Structure 1
Amino acid sequence: MNLKKHIGIALAYFLLVALMGVLLRLFFVTPVQLNFKYILHAHSHTALLGWIYLGLTTLIYKIFLSEAEKSKLYKRIFIFTNICILGMLVTFPFQGYALYSIIFSTLFLFASYWFTWFAIKNIPEHFKHRFSWKLVKASLWYLVFSSIGPWAIGGVMATLGTESIWYKTSIYFYLHFQYNGWFILALLGILFYILEEKSVVFKAEQLKSVFFLLNFAVIFTLFLSVLWFGPPKIIYVLGLIGAVAQILAFYELYILIKKQCSFLIKSISPQGLLLFKIAGVLLVVKVFMQFFSAFPYMADLAYRLKDFVIGYLHLVFLGIVIPLMLAFLNYFRLLKIPKSFLWFFLVAFITTEALIFYKAFAFWLGLPFFQNYYILLAILSCLFPIAVGILFFNQIKSFYLST
């Protein structure tokens, strides 16, 4: 089974995500005869469930499960998952959250449960006590746990409506455990697998502390996601405790792996190393953004100025999760990273993030807001599909050459 083909499919979704991102920008520039929210739903679902989900599950299969000799079952799961993704892709843009899109998104939840069961049941014995698998296993449980959000949305829409605080809370619940639980812990698990394979040994008590703090932080930073409606003060305190725990967790993690930096530099390609450095820097930014969001003034500011939230989500998705995943795909030879992709992607990311955050700061601090802002943002966003297109077609070329 050629997993490069699976990554090629994931990249096709990534390309569609980038194109839909440009389309969303065009809504603010020129009349578009489509529904903005519907396209936004398609954009976000395809990004999280098409590109990132397939990328991570392919990595997990290759690293931990390929020797289990269950390729036929994995292939069935992969095909079923893609049917669900394609179903969402063709229904969300035209109907938003409605019968058929809900059917496919619900089926996707079952696909994720299926993969989680498959991974936990078929993990080879010699992996079961590794710290890397412990992290990945926890990430899979967070993947399952995050699905409470989508299940709740249906009930909330049917009873309380989309204006209820529980509607947004259900969405934020889902996003929180996707980003901070499933994505981050899975990527950390892959990092520790690489270190373990190179015979790097850590003290058991250090690993235990990191694991506890990471999970404590994932659970308690959930409270940061509900500060937008002004809950009781205890919720702010719990969110702050989670944010502090997260800072401590990543500080301990840094102390653990900083001695291995020279090894990582030698083991990873220059492109992968650059992506690692970017993700590392932005991870620090992320945890401190979450820390400051625990304070009432900043929480209210983020609620009033949505660009802070959009910028944060893009920072985590485009600046941390995707760079790390690409670096790992490159390390395991599932993907080549052309330098041209890096330049286009980084210019697109840096400039669009700067504009998104500038708008938020401009409205907050009364800074000048220039007239052609949305046109410039749309133009710069066009660099994303160019970058991803380079990556996608390079992958297709690589796949056909290898066969």
Structure 2
Amino acid sequence: MKPETDPNDRFGGEVPFALHELFYSRTDPRGVIRAGNEIFRRVSGYDWSELIGAPHKLVRHPDTPKGVFRLLWDAIQKGHPMGAYVKNRAKNGGWYWVFAVMLPFDGGYLSVRLKPSSALSGRMLKLYSEIAARERAEGLDPEQSVAILRNRAEADGYGSYTAFMAHALSLELAERDRQLRRPDDARTRMLGEMNEAMAELTKEQMGLLRSFEALQSVPNNMRIVASRLEPSGGPVSAISENYKASSVVISERLRQFVVGRDNLCAQMAWQVARALFLLGCSRILPEMNRGFRAEEANAQIDLEGERRFLAQLEAKGIADARAAMQSATDFAAQMTQQSRDIRRQMLGLDTIRVLGRVECGRMRDASEGLSATIDQLDTFHDDIKSRLESIMRLSEGVEHSLMRYVRLEQAAA
């Protein structure tokens, strides 16, 4: 049998570990390793004397883009949980692929890693290799690397990388349960579905904003047509000015609703993602804790102390997850109300559009250009109404799901 760490193994092959195994490490605020579990020690290939007191970057693999660590550190240094796929390097030069869930706590950071098994993990491994190759060949800095990762999240419909990684965690937990033949976890599934609904909601909102931005050019076209059909200050010119003024007000409201760091959609998505991370931790930490029971005592790790620490973090994580769900519920209610308000404002635009259509009919043959412009308005209005209805349906659905989840959690407590 091949030894678990062969010093002659320099081909960079994958270091095996089982799907049911979990890695654990705890660091101080600077990222210096203070504790870990036997699986981490075994797969990394280092002795405890080499791990304890060493920076966690000891196991960093150059194929993990620098942007990944920038995203992780930005989140946990602000006190937020975060997750990421990470390719690590063992002492013998081999590598191992994990999904890391990182939790900040008073005095440092904790990381629990599981073996990725979803279809997404394979795509991310390929993406990492491509980004890392560009970092070496083109000299990409961490921020440029972060931009590529965020673009990938946006391409999949997620408003933030946090939401994308929350989606990844839900996929990994579900696939791990399936392969280990464990019962499906209803709460994880529910939050995963809500996260996907948030991604769809973000897509609809961005599409709505694009439609409104495109709409801004139509009143200008109408005014140009009016200048050829009537004297200055005529009814078509007045209609175009009224339409433009009203649409600008709605467009500005939409911008506050959809874009910017503090928009409602992003805040609600972030709270759902935070709750999903914390829920995932509430499932993983007890399993990690049970794993410590099977470990043999050693002078470097206070196993009982680590178990008590994990139990405390688990309890805090559950409380924080409930708070995040309640906050997300409040944001969802605000989003639903905002959607209704914007729909009411659209009725005013519809009235102006109808007046334009009436004026077009009055001009008859001379109004061909005006008719084409009004047709554009009809198309945009139909698209906007459809998106608003979809947004209201999705936001109300998310709100109801959140309220149901909070009730289930309260009943369980």
Give TM-score scaled by structure 2 length. 0.36
Structure number with higher strand proportion: 2
Q: Which has the higher contact order (CA 8 A, sep 6+)?
A: 1
Larger-gyration structure (1/2):
2
Structure number with higher helix proportion: 1
Give TM-score scaled by structure 1 length. 0.36
